[in-house]
Amino acid sequence: MENKFILKLGGRDLTVEVNKLAEQANGSALVQYGDTVLLATATMSRQEREGIDFFPLMVDYEEKFYAAGKILGARYTRREARPTDEAVLTARLIDRAIRPLFPKGLRKDIQVIITCLSWDKENDPDILGLIAASCALTVSDIPWNGPVSAIRIGKIGQEEKFILNPTQKQKGKENPKPTDLIDANQIDLDLTLAGVKSENANREDVLINMIEAKANQTQESTVLNAVKFAKPELKKILEFQDEIREKAGKAKFAINEPIPEPELEREIKEFLGDQLENAIYPNSTSKKPSKSTDKMNELTAELCYFIEGKYPGMGKTKFAKNFLEEKIESCIHRNILESEKRPDGRKLDEIRKISGEIGLLPRVHGSSLFSRGVTKALSILTLGAPGDQRLIEGMEVRGKKRFMHHYNFTPYSVGETRPLRGPARRDIGHGMLAEKTLTPLLPSFEDFPYTMRIVTEIVSSNGSTSMASVSSASLALMEAGVPIKAPAAGIAIGLIMADNGVDYKILNDIQGPEDHYGDMDFKVAGTKKGITAIQMDVKTLGISEKIFGEALTQGKKVRTEILDKIEKIIPEPRKKLSPFAPRILTHQISPDKIRDVIGPGGKMINEIIDACDVSIDIEDSGSVYITSLEGGEAAEKALNWIKSITREVVAGEIFQGTVKRIMDFGAFVEILPKQEGLVHISQLAERRVEKVKDIVKIGDTVSVKVTGIDEQGRINLSMKDAKK
């Protein structure tokens, strides 16, 4: 059986070897692109999980430091620990593309593990990881409706010239150093796409089933053209995997179809009657989805009580719940497709009521509350010193981040209780989506050297909280006085697709049931000028180019509407920072003077920090940043101290200095901190001096004039000339 396959892609060889290493997994693929190599394995448990109502899929992406030739990790272990945020985001990206392709009703545990074995610092392992996962599932006996293909499209500069799978060098990220700022936007468009083959002859041959993009206020037409550019390449990868499946694939495992129970279905339908419709649409004019949720919970409980009473101890309630879910989904689809009737009574293109507040919290540096219907996002901004930047050192990423957005989804936001733990994958993903949206809008480090951290607390949720976070964070930044280029907003666009795969309806601002039972969650965010981030997931097979274009158009329309409301709350960033925010003074010194400011063993800089109660950050270029939490006076004091240490002495200047040392030939006088000059015995007085000690003694304060500085930087002083 052939197990090695090669495809020419973007001028490089994509090599796939199947079932070479992990022979006991259901399927595996060793994939190489350049010198980047990944191993993907797909494994399925032998037994079904009883009593669950979800698909138990686990997708894990593993960064191995050895892949990049690094020894990292905790000092005393030097091994990989918990996944980095970057690894979590890669795992989520792969999960979002492969999950919709598993058949409904599959209840066996499936684990897909993607391990980066070698990274050439040129080709991105995340795209390769998705292809590897697809190959492993394609050749396995696990039920799966793949394959799925993936590529990255880049655009740099004003010309609409797209790059297939841009290298690190092309993206401006070649050989990053730990001191580099990694959140600078160095590429105008970075678009990741996953595609699948269409099953309908009336549709396009390749459908898009996952999107992840960051951009620099890019026009919708450019993004759409990038998708058009990508589709032939996606098709090529799909056909390549079809060839692999034909030559090396296993027969798929057959799923046990549920046994039909027509009598039970009839009884459930009779029990429900009109109750289901009334529960989903309790009051179409109220636009309060919580009422719908309450009624659905009540109806579910009543149905289970009815079935359990009729079939005690026979486990029929599980069937009833699954049947009810199918009926809810069918009801929502039918009403939207046939009569454009949404659960909360809105029109298809209508968004929920928007409102916002700023300055809610008195002592923080910036705060805001953004509300879209029941969804409410509370954002709090903290400004810090350059030294507060987050240090990142992983397999791929090394450097510092000066902007962070952290998202917290609270249990009370949906009226539930659960233990509070660390951030879940979803929290990390939603936080990064908002961070990606806002990063290209931030002022440069040179213009605004603060470290910025925004925490968004979701205090009430009924869908689209990540997009609410974008608007809330924008308000907090402007309220704090951060000079962002423009505010950003985002919206979630939904899709209801008919069973024929042709008819559909696009929905603006999806919430609860439309998100859960709908076929697409298309999040698009940016400014009035253009897009800065996109994230799309589907529950159907995929979407056409036509649907993608319509979603972009709707996103721009709604985004503009939301931004108009934001500008009414606060039209532009405040001119002054919060009085509780730290103050940063910037000063440039010669790199040769850095060691003078630091002093032996850090003695001098620590003395300044302790005496002035400030923090000081010095870059190799000589840029000095002095941060004070106690107002500008403390920072000014520290700045003057540093200026005196690093000041370049000029001939002709007069100083009041202190005699530090006395020699037979003259006296050494300190005119500036750590800067001494020599007053030769002949320059001590107008008359002839026999002994230096006859004129000065150690500790005396004397007036001296700089008469010259020799080639070695030695300062010559005169006391007699200072009197003239």
Same-domain pairing of 11 and 61: yes
> What single-letter amino acid sits at 692?
V
**Residue 608, domain CATH:** 3.30.1370.10
402 in a structural domain: yes
Say if residue 73's pLDDT is above 80.
no
Q: And the tokens for 292?
A: 């719908």
Mean pLDDT of 429-446: 95
Of 466, 398, 416, the closest CA to residue 438 belongs to 466
End position of a domain, from candidates 646, 668, 693 = 646
pLDDT band at 394 (very low <50, low <70, confident <90, very high): confident
Q: What is the pLDDT of residues 194-240, one digit of tens each?
A: 999 987 756 788 999 999 999 999 999 999 999 999 999 999 999 99
Q: What average pLDDT does the segment 71-88 reach? A: 82
**Cα–Cα dist 399/184, whole Å:** 11
The CA–CA distances, whole Å, from 255 to 44, 259, 530, 535 equal 13, 12, 46, 32
551 inside domain:
yes
Provide the CATH number for the domain around residue 59: 3.30.230.70
By the 8 A CB rule, do 392 and 383 touch? no
* Tens-digit pLDDT profile for residues 318-331: 888 888 989 999 99
Q: How many domains does the chain have?
A: 5
Asked if 672 and 529 sit in the same domain, the reply is: no
Q: Do 433 and 491 meet the contact criterion of CB atoms below 8 Å apart?
A: no
Of 602, 623, 646, which closes a domain?
646
Whether residue 474 sits in one domain with residue 429? yes
**Cβ contact 538:209 at 8 Å:** yes
Is residue 129 very low, low, confident or very high in pLDDT (cuts 50, 70, 90)? very high
Both 497 and 531 in a single domain?
yes
pLDDT of residue 287: 47
- 410 and 474 housed in the same domain: yes
In this prediction, residue 285 carries a pLDDT of 45
> What pLDDT is recorded for position 42?
97
Residue 428 shares a structural domain with residue 362 = yes
* Model pLDDT for residues 134-147, shown as the tens digit of each residue: 999 999 999 999 89
pLDDT of residue 146: 87
Mark whether 491 and 539 lie in a shared domain: yes
pLDDT (mean) for 111-123: 94
Closest by CA to 112, choosing from 20, 29, 3, is 29
Residues 716 and 88: their CA atoms lie apart, in Å, by 63
Domain membership of residue 695 (yes or no) is yes
- Are 627 and 546 within one domain? no
Q: Is the CB of residue 27 less than 8 Å from the CB of residue 142?
A: yes
**pLDDT mean over 157-186:** 73
CA distances from 59 to 39, 41, 173, 695 (A): 13, 10, 27, 83
pLDDT digits (tens, 9 = 90+) for 483-516: 999 999 999 999 999 988 889 999 999 998 899 8
Q: What is the pLDDT of residues 513-524, one digit of tens each?
A: 899 899 999 999
> Percent of the chain, pLDDT > 90?
66
Of 498, 480, 675, the closest CA to residue 578 belongs to 480
The span from the CA of 521 to the CA of 515, in Å, is 7
pLDDT band, residue 105 (cuts 50/70/90): confident
Considering the domain boundaries, does residue 114 fall inside one?
yes
Q: Mean pLDDT for the chain?
A: 90
For residue range 331-349, list pLDDT tens digits in order. 999 999 999 999 989 999 9
Q: Which of 230, 225, 49 is nearest to 127 (CA)?
A: 230
Where residue 1 falls among pLDDT bands split at 50, 70, 90?
A: low
Measured CA to CA in angstroms, residue 437 lies from 250, 404, 432, 490 at distances of: 42, 12, 8, 9
Q: How far apart (Å, rounded) are the C-alpha atoms in residues 474 and 479?
A: 9
Mean pLDDT is lowest, of 34-38, 259-263, 575-579, 629-633, for: 629-633
Rounded to a whole number, what is the largest CA-CA distance in the chain?
Answer: 125
Residues 494 and 437 in one domain: yes
Alpha carbon of 650 to those of 712, 713, 716: distances in Å?
Answer: 14, 11, 11
Using alpha carbons, select from 716, 680, 705, 706 the residue that is nearest to residue 695: 680
Q: Is 690 exposed, middle or buried (0-12, 13-18, 19+ CB in 10 A)?
A: exposed
CA distance 588 to 597: 12
**Whether residue 391 sits in one domain with residue 331:** no
List the one residue out of 574, 372, 358 whose CA is nearest residue 473.
358
Please tell me the distance from the alpha carbon of residue 650 to that of residue 709, in angstroms, as a whole number: 8
User: Does any domain span residue 345?
Assistant: no
Do 84 and 27 lie in a common domain?
Answer: yes
The least confident of 112-116, 272-276, 569-573, 611-615 is 272-276
Residue 254 lies in a domain: no
**Span 417-439, average pLDDT:** 94
Q: How many CB atoms are located within 10 Å of the residue 49 CB?
A: 12
- Enclosing domain of residue 715: 654-723
Mean pLDDT of 363-383: 96
Is 397's pLDDT higher than 90? no
Residues 375-383 have a mean pLDDT of 97
Last residue of a domain, one of 625, 646, 667: 646
Residues 247-302: tens digit of each pLDDT: 999 999 988 777 788 888 898 888 888 888 888 887 644 445 455 677 888 888 88
- Give mean pLDDT, residues 607-625: 93
Residue 187 lies in a domain: no
Asked if 549 and 403 sit in the same domain, the reply is: yes
Give which of 565, 547, 466 is closest to 510, Cα–Cα: 466
Q: Does residue 578 form part of some domain? A: no
